[in-house]
Structure 1
Amino acid sequence: MTITSEEDLARLKAIGRICAVARDTMAAALEPGITTQELDDIGRKVLEASGARSAPEITYQFPGATCISVNEEIAHGMPGDRVIAAGDLVNIDVSAEKDGVFADTGASYIVPPGRPRIEKLCRDGKKAMWAGIRAVRAGGGLADIGTAIGKFAGMHGYTLIRNLASHGVGDSLHDAPGEIPTWPDRSERRRIGDGLVFTIEPFLSLGGQMAEEKDLDDPWTLVSVPAAPCVQYEHTVVATKRGAVVVTLAA
């Protein structure tokens, strides 16, 4: 999607805020004993109350309104009977559609008490995302995003999952210009158009390099290879000549 009018921007901001509220409401409900299905039900209620629809459901027939990934899972976790426990690392990813416009956001959370090493990973995961967001500027290179994130990761001793990318969003869940690397990629030559809408979502890890399917019985859930803790933080942004406008903030 490319924003060409104030009406376009208003619709994008509306669905962006709905996704953010669902994400934050689910995060507030995280506690030992809650199941991932119960957490997903909370997110679904927020979406439905706002007149929005789950993007993975309507796009890919995903078996849940949101993606909830726990510990060894790093993305696309299916809601179910898994029980959240104290100390778990939980990623909540919410994408939805309203009035023909899609937005996407996600964040990782620790259910207290957390280990200091994982708490630091979460703090730095946010910083990696914001490093990428600060690199966004209309007319700049899409490669600038991955370069900035890669610089941050390298300086702090982290790895990046290199087959889970940012992506265009807006007219659909996965929109033009397609995948956008959130790691350094010298082959990336595309420029950022004014008004282009896309996600920034690095997967920062303590050793992980790639994502692969968890097992043959689960075609959705992804885990890190090699196995390692991993966090994801994600916002939907609009590129302008002054930088990025973030639309997936709750307030």
Structure 2
Amino acid sequence: MSISNQSELLGMQQAGEAVALTLKSMRDYARPGMSTGELDEFGRSVLESFGAHSAPKLTYGFPGWTCISVNQEVAHGIPSRSRFLREGDLVNIDVSAELNGFWADNGGSFVLGASNPTHQSLVDASKTILQKAISSIRDGVKINAVGGLIEAEAKRRGYRVIKNLTGHGIGRGLHEAPHSIANYYDRLNRGKFHKNAVVAIETFISTKAGWAYENGDGWTLQTRDGSYVAQHEHTIVVTDGEPIILTLANGIWE
């Protein structure tokens, strides 16, 4: 989507606020011993309070309102009443939604409860790298240059990136052009970011693995070697300068 007027910008800001505050509320609500299904139902109630609708359910018939991935799961984890969170788990919540015809996407990994230094370092790296990547985006910047930045920053910290999961365009649907905003330098991608474009930028920072695999349930992606992965994602509007980040909860990086 390309923003063409103030009404569209306002619509995207409202959708962004809905997913950002839902993600923050879910993170604050999560507790050891809680099932991922209960956490997901709480997320549904928050989305509904905004009048928003689950994007993965609307678009793909996903069996949950949000995606909740734990430990070696990388993305698209199915919430379950029989899956219980534990102290120190690496948890990722991905919230995407439609509101009044506008779509926004927001995700974040965090360590549940007690400190886990290994997990926390990974989470901090993912968050910091996403901040750097987003700050580098403006009109005319090459998409693969941002991917190269993410990959280089991960390597500098002793991590790798997951190469088969990418950011994407968004706005009037969940996935729009550009369909691949990779976490690595893709020499074949000659695309550029353009002013007023709405895109979702994601990091997938891994302790070792470079690829995520479907685990047999039709949805959940995970590593095969026991690697952990932290993901962070924001929906932004590209400008001539610093991008407009639509999915900051109360204007704060989480």
Which TM-score applies when normalising by structure 2?
A: 0.96
| Partner Cα separation in structure 2 for residue 165 and residue 94 of structure 1 | 16
Aligned partner letter, 1:214:
N
1:61-90 per-residue CA deviation (whole Å, 9 max, x = no partner) reads 001110000111110000102000111111
Deviation of 1:202 after TM superposition, in Å, equals 1.0
Aligned position for 1:27? 27
Secondary structure in 2 matching 1:234: strand
| Partner Cα separation in structure 1 for residue 230 and residue 52 of structure 2 | 26
Aligned position for 1:11? 11
| Partner Cα separation in structure 2 for residue 162 and residue 227 of structure 1 | 17
1:131-180 per-residue CA deviation (whole Å, 9 max, x = no partner) reads 21012111111112111111211111110000000011111000112121
Residues 1:42 and 2:47 aligned together: no
Cα RMSD for the two superposed structures: 0.9
| Partner Cα separation in structure 2 for residue 223 and residue 83 of structure 1 | 18
Aligned position for 1:53? 53
Aligned position for 1:63? 63
Secondary structure in 1 matching 2:87: coil
Aligned partner letter, 1:202:
T
After TM superposition, the structure 1 = structure 2 runs for residues 174-213 of structure 1, keeping only pairs within 5 Å, are: 174-213=175-214
**Amino-acid identity (%):** 40
Aligned position for 2:86? 85
| Partner Cα separation in structure 2 for residue 139 and residue 222 of structure 1 | 33
| Partner Cα separation in structure 2 for residue 63 and residue 135 of structure 1 | 36
| Partner Cα separation in structure 1 for residue 194 and residue 116 of structure 2 | 41
Aligned position for 1:239? 238
Secondary structure in 2 matching 1:57: helix
| Partner Cα separation in structure 1 for residue 187 and residue 58 of structure 2 | 35
Unpaired stretches in structure 2, ≥5 consecutive residues:
none
Aligned partner letter, 1:223:
Q
| Partner Cα separation in structure 2 for residue 139 and residue 72 of structure 1 | 36
| Partner Cα separation in structure 2 for residue 54 and residue 160 of structure 1 | 27
Aligned partner letter, 1:19:
V
Unpaired stretches in structure 1, ≥5 consecutive residues:
none
| Partner Cα separation in structure 2 for residue 193 and residue 62 of structure 1 | 31
Secondary structure in 2 matching 1:108: strand
Deviation of 1:225 after TM superposition, in Å, equals 3.8
Which TM-score applies when normalising by structure 1?
A: 0.97
Q: Which has the higher strand share?
A: 1
Query: 1:138–1:243: 8 Å Cα contact kept in structure 2?
Result: no
Query: 1:137–1:192: 8 Å Cα contact kept in structure 2?
Result: yes
**Which region of structure 1 is more displaced relative to structure 2, 174-183 or 203-212?**
174-183
Aligned partner letter, 1:32:
P
| Partner Cα separation in structure 2 for residue 100 and residue 30 of structure 1 | 29
1:190-249 per-residue CA deviation (whole Å, 9 max, x = no partner) reads 11111111111110010011011112xx00000024330110000001100113110001
After TM superposition, the structure 1 = structure 2 runs for residues 78-227 of structure 1, keeping only pairs within 5 Å, are: 78-80=78-80, 81-215=82-216, 218-227=217-226
**Which region of structure 1 is more displaced relative to structure 2, 174-183 or 50-59?**
174-183
Query: 1:210–1:226: 8 Å Cα contact kept in structure 2?
Result: no
| Partner Cα separation in structure 2 for residue 33 and residue 225 of structure 1 | 26
Aligned position for 2:247? 248
Aligned partner letter, 1:10:
L
Query: 1:94–1:105: 8 Å Cα contact kept in structure 2?
Result: yes
| Partner Cα separation in structure 2 for residue 148 and residue 27 of structure 1 | 28
